[in-house]
Amino acid sequence: MGAAAAGTTRNREGRPHGLHGAPELPSVSVTSYNLEIRDEDGFVGDKASRSAFVEHLDALRQHLREQGGDPLKGATAEVSKKQLDALLKDGDPHEAALVLSAIERFAQSLAFVIRRFTRLKSWAPVERIVIGGGFRESRVGELAIGRAGIILSTDGHRIDLVPVSHHPDEAGLVGSAHLAPKWIFEAYDSLVAVDIGGSNIRAGIVELRQDKAADLSKARVASSELWRHADEEPRRDEAIARLGEMLQAQLRQAKKDGLRVAPFIGVGCPGLIEPDGAIDRGAQNLPGNWESSRFNLVDSIRELVPEIGDHETQVTMHNDAVIQGLSELPAMQDVENWAVLTIGTGLGNASYRNRNAPKRKAAGKDKTSDKDKSEAKG
């Protein structure tokens, strides 16, 4: 019996092909996403979420309070990333040591989670993992990622951990440029992208800049709007209507900026995405019931923006972690199998296999060549 049948792992390997949530994209195969691995404590991914770091820090503070030496004030959940970064840089040794201790504990948890992922068939060949999500944008997050990489290396795991290069908020938009074949954008210089999360919805215009880099490595967010829906707790219909307003505002801004926007909207959304654009599960943190059989997000967006320019709008949707990972696609061409983990409210995940042969670094090839020559002489 396989892992999924046993109830320990659920994923999207072997699902039917379709426009949305597709396993085959122009440049990569999505070998898995939204994996749900369980152990006796629940979902394994929860051990490497933002809340897991808060729990580690709070446990340390509790111990220090018992000794009368907690250097922080207020509830742990209210301590911001900026405050923690400041303690690392300018705090006294006791304060900095507290943050470093929390980083160490979280790094151990992150390394544990990665080891569990790499036991799965889709993750076993992974050579590099991109780490994204809101946690990554802090110095605390960067140090935790670096430390987890060292832990894995000393354990014999040959996996590189690299922080996502775009700002995490922008990566969720930029990745949409890799959902469609490049020929779709030949007559255009930008596209519309949407990133839907459990707390925020972001809509923006991605400037492709293909004249600077044909592989889209120079793509960037030209403009965007963020709405924190978690603060307002809207109904689903209200959230969709607000998204429509955001999209129209972004299109107006793009026109002012003189951009030629493609009739294409890329959408990242939590959960398992069905080929018809329905959300199977995993959208429980969104406002209202987005998993209802009577609701289709793709159809709703198409109704909100039926045309862009003089052409009918095409909407393509995938999992939000998949799209954030795709923003790093140009930098992943020297490996065959790679993955992404997004550390936020939960732990998003996806794994990929490049459809083209890896372009290994020249230095590596030269070394191999020299070795071959030496062996040939011997």
Q: How far does CA 197 lie from the centroid of its chain?
A: 11
Query: Are residues 236 and 184 part of one domain?
Result: yes
- pLDDT of amino acid 137: 84
Q: By C-alpha distance, which of 285, 322, 355 is closest to 32?
A: 322
Identify whether 308 is part of a domain: yes
The structural domain count of the chain equals 2
- Specify which residues 350 forms β-bridges with: 33, 340
- If asked whether residues 115 and 231 sit together in one domain, one would say no
> Which has the closest alpha carbon to 329: 166, 207, 123?
166
Mark which of 287, 307, 326 sits at the end of a domain: 326
User: Which residues of the chain register pLDDT less than 70?
Assistant: 1-18, 361-378
Tell me the two tokens of residue 291: 């998993």
Torsion of CA 186, 320, 34, 358, to 10 degrees: 40
**Residue 120 placed within a domain:** yes
Taking each continuous run of H as one helix and of E as one strand, the counts in the chain are 10, 15
Same domain, 65 and 189: no
Which amino acid, residue 211?
A: D
In terms of C-beta density within 10 A (0-12 exposed, 13-18 middle, 19 or more buried), how is residue 346 classed? buried
For the chain, the C-alpha Rg in angstroms (whole number) is: 22
Query: CA–CA separation, 77 vs 105, rounded Å?
Result: 17
173 and 322 both lie in a single domain: yes
pLDDT for 74-112, tens place per residue?
899 888 889 999 999 998 898 999 999 999 999 999 999
- Determine whether 39 is exposed, middle or buried from the number of CB atoms within 10 Å of its CB (0-12, 13-18, 19+): exposed
Q: At CA 14, angle to CA 8 and CA 19, rounded to 5?
A: 125
Of 326, 345, 368, which residue is a domain's last?
A: 326
Nearest to 343 by CA among 328, 323, 321: 321
Same domain flag for 57 and 148: yes
In terms of domains, do 145 and 173 share one? no
Give the side-chain half-sphere CA count within 13 A for 118.
19
Q: Do 182 and 283 sit in the same domain of this protein? A: yes
Positive or negative torsion for Cα 11, 243, 130, 95: negative
Does residue 280 sit within a domain? yes
In a shared domain, residues 18 and 143: yes
Instruction: Identify the domain containing residue 260 by its residue range.
Output: 168-326
pTM equals 0.86
Q: Phi-psi bin for 72: left (phi > 0), alpha (psi -120 to 50), beta?
A: beta
35-54 residue pLDDT tens = 989 888 888 888 998 899 99
Q: Would residue 47 count as lying in a domain?
A: yes
Let me know whether 219 and 364 are in one domain.
no
| Residue 15 · residue 276 · CB < 8 Å | no
Residue 5 within a domain: no
Non-local (6+) Cβ contacts of 350 within 8 A are 30, 32, 33, 34, 319, 321, 322, 325, 339, 340
Which pLDDT score is estimated for 198? Answer: 82
| Residues 146 and 184 placed together within one structural domain of the fold | no
CATH of residue 196's domain is: 3.30.420.40
Residue 2 covered by a domain: no
Task: Give domain status of residue 6, yes or no.
Answer: no
Q: Give the CB-side neighbour count of residue 66, counting CA atoms within 13 A.
A: 5
pLDDT at 283: 81
pLDDT of 144 reads: 96
Residue 322 in any domain: the answer is yes
User: What's the pLDDT at 362?
Assistant: 58
My answer on whether 186 and 320 are in the same domain is yes
What is the per-residue pLDDT for 378? 37
Structure tokens at 259: 């951009």
220 with 318, same domain: the answer is yes
